[in-house]
Amino acid sequence: MSDVLLRDRRGLLGLIFSVIAIFFAGFYLYAAGPAYFGRIGVGTFRGLFLLLAITMVFMIYPFGRRSNMRRPTVIDLVLIAMTIVSFGYFVVEFNSLVHRTGFYTDMDLYMALMATIVSIEATRRVMGTMLPVVAIIFLLYAVHGNMLPENISHRGYPWGRVLTDMFTQEGMFGLVLNVTAQYVVLFVVFGALMNRFGAGDFFVRLPFALTAGYRGGPAKASVLGSGMMGMISGSATANTVATGTFTIPLMIKAGYKRHVAGAIEPAASTGGMFMPPIMGAAVFIMAEMIQMPYTEIMIAALVPAILYFFSVAAVAHFEAARENIPILPKEDREDAWQIFKQGWYYLLPIGFVIYLMLSGTSPSRAVYYSIFLFIGVAMLARLILKSPDESYFSVFKRSFIDLLKGLEEGAVNSLVISAVVGTVGVILGVVFLTGLGFIFTSSVMQFTFGLLPLGIVLALVSSYILGMGMTVTSAYILMAILVAPGLEVMGISALAAHMIVFWYSQSSNISPPVCMAAFAGASIARANPMRTGFTALKFSIFLFIIPVLFVYTPILMPEGLTFGAVQAMVTSFIAVGATAAAVSNFMLVRTTLFERVTLVLGAVVLLFPQLLLNVAGLALLVLVYVLQSRRKPGDGAPPVRTVPQTAGDTA
């Protein structure tokens, strides 16, 4: 994934960019609401999205590290012109393009070529070379498929047919773009506005105040805060930076080693991608792919998300107990009730958007109303809480500036996904054109011999490899069209298959060698990045275990909240605690090898929702508890940490 710096947006460039970004966010916000001034046509809705998003990319993402960082270059201006011309052509000629589907003019071909070039280049600038290379390979496959071995070959298509097919709603203007424009951008803007009006600070300070009186309080605050931020963020790396700036220094001060503090935050922030109501861009795409209401996915995903956060908190707790990290002194704690009274209204729009979606309102319309509710509530709160020396005009002026800045930040934050939808659309277009999805499903069945456990392992390995060079959303989409159908053929539901590849696609956040969220945490903690990454992997161990539960237990509630589903939930939480103790090498005291093995065995047995197995698993855990309680508390524990870690701990 690209780590290139953005251009300086001050001066004329910044002004022009701000106008485009605010218009972009405002336009798609308007499109989600009632048609006060008329309904927006499909061609305008989809074509304008790529026109504006890719133009913004070329304005602020430089061609390379040595490019001018103050203003766009000639190359950028040429690409911007190509973007405006090609996607503007789609907007203006949309009806004609639809009417002559399957037949194309020379002008159609030229516009399609330009659109493909700028889409792939925009993707390269935002997230690196891997996805553009994959897209080019797919295009070559579409043209030269007749030259390949029989089991993956097809008849091949001329370049004109391939490129113009990509310039349709079956290609770059298809499902991924539509979902991103309808849902994803709105939720990103929602999160940016809430953060701009102070919700981010509230969602960090409140969890810290609630957990400060417990062992490992800062780490538990990190987990709880990441869960709350995840409800409005939908980005693990952004969540790590926003929450970790506050929690990581506190964890280090409390006594956690630097690389451990830097690892806990990204491990917890990864869970934000699973936490309703926003979760991540991929879930909206999932809803469209499997034709399931987003609210049903949201309900099914809730317990696994809470289970994941609990797993990170449990490992952090045992880590604190093993290292004998003290409880934060009372004088250093904030009053949770006071913080809640100051910012309780930040919870209203989140509760409101969930209520609307559960009552049947579409996600886009739900977030539309929630945004306006939040703006109104935030304005009212500022007026009520304003200082005596601040005028009402000043409050309105400050709020209006924050509104515009929030819209702009939302547009900028959405570019990470918006800039890749055209390229992903090209890949999907090739899959539909050539029948590659069916070919790949057959290959998956042959490679795994039709065995579901091997299919799950294949999903994990494939997601891990793709995650080294793609955003998690891009990795999920490829896995969803190439691997998930194979898992479905093996006999599991579409929801379970897509949830498996969705969860595994998040592994790139915390899995070395490429783990952007962990690297962000290491940067804040001033710790060794790779050591932090491997430690984050330990804290995120259940990221790889929970997807297995989607297949072998009813934890996704396929038949509702049955006794079996409740049993699976309860035993899974107990298994998480046992696994956390085994991973941390500590329960009541340090564990022996026999105790660790027994804990793992008990946890594994508990994960299967069968009464006799569950009883046996609980018996194993009780055995370990009895053995531990007979030893002297604190055996093998280090002395209590009373001073912060020094810079020398970064190695």
Who's near 142: CB < 8 A, 6+ residues apart? 156, 157, 162, 430, 433, 434
Task: Answer yes or no: are the C-beta atoms of 46 and 169 closer than 8 Å.
Answer: yes
Per the CB < 8 A criterion, the answer to whether 496 and 525 are in contact is no
**Helices in 233-361 by DSSP H: which ranges?**
236-254, 258-270, 281-289, 294-322, 336-343, 347-358
Q: Measure the CA–CA gap between 329 and 550, rounded to whole angstroms.
A: 42
Buried b (16+ CB within 10 A) or exposed e, 578-600: bbbbbbbbbbbbbbeeebbebbb
DSSP secondary structure letters along 212-249: TTSTTHHHHHHHHHHHHHHTT---HHHHHHHHHHHHHH
Q: Is residue 3 over pLDDT 90?
A: no
Look at residue 234 in the predicted model and tell me its pLDDT. 61
324, 253 in Cβ contact below 8 A?
no
Burial class of residue 626 in the structure, from the number of CB atoms within 10 Å of its CB (0-12 exposed, 13-18 middle, 19+ buried): exposed
What number is the average pLDDT over the span 240-246?
Answer: 81
Q: What is the average pLDDT across 305-330? A: 88
Nearest alpha carbon to residue 501 among 469, 542, 544 = 544
DSSP string, 344-370: GGGHHHHHHHHHHHHTT--HHHHHHHH
Query: For residue 317, what are the β-bridge partners?
Result: none
What is the rounded CA–CA span in Å between residue 543 and residue 274?
A: 10
pTM recorded for the entire structure? 0.84
Residues 276 and 229 sit within 8 Å (Cβ to Cβ): no
- CB atoms inside a 10 Å sphere around CB 173: 28
Show the CA angle centred on residue 508, arms to residues 505 and 514, nearest 5°: 150
Query: What end-to-end distance do the CA atoms of the chain give, in Å?
Result: 25
Query: Tens of pLDDT along 260-314?
Result: 999 998 888 888 888 887 777 788 889 888 989 888 998 999 999 999 999 999 9
Nearest to 119 by CA among 469, 478, 420: 420
pLDDT band at 639 (very low <50, low <70, confident <90, very high): low
DSSP symbols for 605-628: HHTS--HHHHHHHHHHHHHHHHHH
Region at 198 (left for phi over 0; alpha for psi -120 to 50; beta for the rest)? left
Q: Give residue 638's pLDDT.
A: 54
Q: Are 232 and 273 in contact (CB under 8 A)?
A: no
Q: Which amino acid is at 363?
A: P
For the four alpha carbons of 151, 101, 364 and 53, in that order, the dihedral sign comes to positive
The proportion of the chain whose per-residue pLDDT surpasses 70, expressed as a percent, equals 95
pLDDT, tens only, 190-242: 988 998 998 888 888 888 888 888 888 888 888 888 877 776 666 777 778 87
Cβ atoms of 57 and 124 within 8 Å: the answer is no
| Phi (first) and psi of residue 558, to 5 degrees | -65, -25
| Residue 241, token pair as written in the block | 């930076």
The 10s digit of each residue's pLDDT in 161-195 is 999 999 999 999 998 899 899 988 998 899 889 98
pLDDT, tens digit (0-9, with 9 covering 90-100), for 526-575: 888 889 988 998 899 899 999 999 999 999 998 888 999 999 999 999 99
Looking at per-residue pLDDT, the higher value among 474 and 95 belongs to: 95
Q: What is the pLDDT of residue 310?
A: 93
- Contact partners, residue 47, CB within 8 Å, separation at least 6: 87, 88, 90, 91, 94, 173
Which one, of 411, 385, 413, 414, lies nearest residue 399 by Cα?
A: 385
Four-residue CA torsion sign, 241, 242, 246, 250: negative
Tokens encoding 506: 């998040």
Residue 552: partners with Cβ closer than 8 Å, 6 or more residues away: 607, 608
- Complete DSSP assignment for 1-54: ---PPPPP--HHHHHHHHHHHHHHHHHHHHHHS--TT-PPPHHHHHHHHHHHHH
Q: φ and ψ at 586, to 5 degrees?
A: -160, 140
What's the rounded Cα separation, in Å, for the pair 248 and 260? 9
pLDDT score, position 517: 82
pLDDT in the model for residue 398: 92
Is the pLDDT higher at 6 or at 557? Answer: 557
Residue 650 is classified by DSSP as G
